[in-house]
Amino acid sequence: ADAVEARQLFDLRAGSAFTRWMSLRYQPMFPELAAETLSYGPCQFPTLGFVVERFLRIQRFVPEAFWTIKAEIQKQGRAIPFGWRRGRLFDRLAVLALFELVVEQSPNGAMVVNVSEEPKSRWRPLPLNTVEMTKLAASKLHMSPQRCMQLAEELYQKGFISYPRTETDRFQATIDVRGLVQVQTSSTVWGAFAQTLLA
């Protein structure tokens, strides 16, 4: 709790001081910023780095034409799509040659030559740090980093999540995690879930 409070105080003081300094320094230089406050926050820089990196990747991207083969079989009134394991090729003639082979064989129908199954495991997700949280929010939810942090702050204020503005994703070895979970077992809301974590 003391570490969280210290981080909050540091963020507030550093943010206030640098926001004032940047606003007073750059507003006279750029008239279009005269009515704007130039905000500074220690947590904004990792997010800014992510945004700039993504922008540069988009700028450097060179589109290249590719071709793929898609097949669809009608079976008992249902359309069954098939994808090409190769995915795509950048050589049009090679794809055309393969396509012609498929067309030549199509009157004979399709034959299943192999069926394979393999188990897949889904591991529990690791705790998120600020940068990973904003990346996931942008890629999966199409949410801006600012909106993501705003929602995380609201969830934190309501007591649903731990302090979001941290790069820590694990407990220190000296912390009694089981003891912390044990305290939660008395809750009428999530006590049963906390009990399953101790089992």
Active site residue 156: no
Q: What is the DSSP string of 112-146?
A: -----------PPPPPP-HHHHHHHHHHHH---HH
What are the Cα distances from residue 1, in Å, to 4, 6, 155, 163?
A: 5, 9, 17, 10
At 77, list the tokens: 């009134």
> Among residues 157, 155, 160, which one has the least CA distance to residue 189?
160
Question: pLDDT tier at 125 (50, 70, 90 boundaries)?
Answer: confident
Burial of residue 11 (CB within 10 Å: 0-12, 13-18, 19+) is: middle
- Is the pLDDT score of 145 beyond 70? yes
For the cut 70, the answer to whether the pLDDT of residue 165 exceeds it is no
Backbone torsions φ then ψ of 3, nearest 5 degrees = -65, -40
Catalytic residue among 26, 40, 156, 163: 163
Which has more confidence, 55 or 42? 55
The amino acid at residue 31 is P
Q: What is the pLDDT of residues 75-117, one digit of tens each?
A: 788 888 887 788 888 999 998 998 888 888 777 766 777 878 8
Region 59-70 average pLDDT: 90
| pTM higher than the cut 0.75 | no
Other CB atoms within 10 A of residue 152 CB: 21
Please, which residues have CB within 8 angstroms of residue 138's CB and are 6 or more apart in sequence? 50, 144, 145, 148
